[in-house]
Structures are given as C-alpha cells and as structure tokens.
C-alpha cells in the first residue's frame, strides 16, 4: 500500500513516515501500539480533520484504522525553523 521513503519521527506511540502512495508523496502517521485508547484517539483525530479545510492545515487524505494519511507539504517544520531562535517579525507575520 505505502512505500516508505524515510522515517520522519519514531518516538512515543506513533511513527511518522514519508511515503509514496499511488502517484504522490504522503505522510503516514501510524500507531506503534494498538491500545483501545490510542485507536479511539486516532479515530477522533481523523473525524475532526475530515471536517477542517484551511490553507494552514495539512489536509487529511485518508484513515486506515491504525494510520492517518496526510498530504505531504515540503519545507521546514516550525520546530526546525525555530532552532536558531525566534523568527524575524516579517516572516512571523507571513506565517
């Protein structure tokens, strides 16, 4: 189904992978532990994200029981952007 390209994060109860799916790159957030609590939490996350549509929210493409499939948005994540301190005011305002 998914061809993993690389692991983006592998800590806590989820593993986040950059993957190829059909003809596009996606991000797959997959449960590592399958407790009823975590499965219900992921299901709620999928239900909420299906209802949201905003230019600053990465779209959810699918839900597969133990995995959420998001569109891949290339670039730097906020954590990496803030590693060297606060962003300049102009860049902060654009975000």
Residue-wise pLDDT for 37-49, tens only, equals 999 999 999 999 9
Give the global pTM.
Answer: 0.78
**Kind of pairing between the strands at 60-63 and 14-21:** unpaired
CA–chain centroid gap for 74, Å, is 12
pLDDT digits (tens, 9 = 90+) for 22-31: 889 999 999 9
Residue reference for tokens 């790159």: 25
Total residues belonging to the chain:
95
Strands (E), 22-75: 24-31, 60-63, 67-71
Q: Are 46 and 7 in contact (CB under 8 A)?
A: no
């Amino acid at each position: 189904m998914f061809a993993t390209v690389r692991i983006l994060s592998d800590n806590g109860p989820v593993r986040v992978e950059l993957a190829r799916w059909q003809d596009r790159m996606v991000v797959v957030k997959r449960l590592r532990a399958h407790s009823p609590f975590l499965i219900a939490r992921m299901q709620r996350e999928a239900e909420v994200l299906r209802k949201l549509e905003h230019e600053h929210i990465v779209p959810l493409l699918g839900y597969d029981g133990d995995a959420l499939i998001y569109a891949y948005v290339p670039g730097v994540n906020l954590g990496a952007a803030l590693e060297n301190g606060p962003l300049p005011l102009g860049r902060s305002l654009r975000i």
